[in-house]
Amino acid sequence: MAGGWRVSCLSMSSVPKRVEQLMAQASGDEKHDPSAHSTLDILWVLYDRILRYDPRDPRGEDRDRFLMSKGHGPLALFAILADKGFFPAEEMARFETWEGILGGHPDRHRVPGIEISTGSLGHGFPMAVGVALALRAKGSDRRVFVLIGDGEANEGSVWETALLAGSLELPHLTAILVDNASSTRPLGDIGAKFSTFGWAARTANGRDHEALYAALSAPDAVRPTIVVAEIRE
């Protein structure tokens, strides 16, 4: 499939136009348009207002970690990383090409700012728990954010990890589950399910920047936090 980003999809978003323009430079078969679109506002709020990072030192020890567990639809993440200076904006036009560093699913060895290589669903969430445990063992106060798709939440490993992390007292771990109704099987009350495992659960409109900021910027004192970001459009 060729062609630019469907700007009409962004009509609900209040992300700066320059980010939309960066996304529009990409073409290719693995854009996962709805998937990329669903995460755009969440990622913008994270990278613009919450995460601590230095694009000149993407692996700096003092950074917050963001792990894109689902790996699908990375265009929004790529565009925001480019906008924030992790790599030249020209890379967006080389999306899914031999010459470029940006593929249909992110590669941590190619893309500055990408923490883990993902695309196979259900891997990044448990890896994030390992990262959170490692930071705690190192005495770090940095936060770990991991983004999961609602379709990804069909995977058994997501629920293994929900069960495990809920009992580990990881207040610096925040999972964001993007619910854009893409799950073949209805997930029901996701927050309630995580709550029973010991998570602090919040729900926010996935397009409302203030609501997302409020949900993401105030972690629980003891428990890991799950933010269910609803996309209904």
Alpha helices per DSSP H over the chain: 17-24, 33-45, 75-83, 124-138, 156-165, 190-196, 209-217
Residue from 117, 174, 180, 225 touching another protein (CB under 8 A): that is 117
The stretch near another protein (CB under 8 A) out of 159-167, 178-186, 215-223, 225-233 is 159-167
Shortest CB 136 distance to another protein, Å: 6
Rounded least distance, CB 204 to another protein, Å: 26
Tell whether the torsion through CA atoms of 149, 151, 154 and 157 is positive or negative: negative
CB nearer another protein, residue 135 or residue 226:
135
How many Cβ atoms are within 10 Å of 8's Cβ, its own excluded?
7
Query: Nearest distance from residue 51's CB to another protein, in Å?
Result: 17
Tokens matching residue 196:
């029973």
* 185 is a site residue for another protein (CB under 8 A): no
Closest CB to another protein among residues 2, 141: 141
Return d(Cα 204, Cα 232) in angstroms, integer: 11
| Helix (H/G/I), strand (E/B), else coil: 176 | strand
Give CA–CA dist 119/155, Å, rounded.
13
Which of 21, 154 has the CB closer to another protein? 154
What is the rounded distance in angstroms from the CA atom of residue 87 to the CA atom of residue 145?
21
- Our CB check for another protein shows the closer of 129 and 177 to be 129
The least CB distance from residue 164 to another protein, in Å, is: 6
Task: In angstroms, give the least distance from the CB of 37 to another protein.
Answer: 25
How many residues bind another protein, per CB under 8 A?
29
C-beta separation of 202 from 215 below 8 A? yes
Q: Which stretches of the chain bind another protein, using CB under 8 A?
A: 108-109, 115-117, 120, 122-138, 156-157, 160-161, 163-164
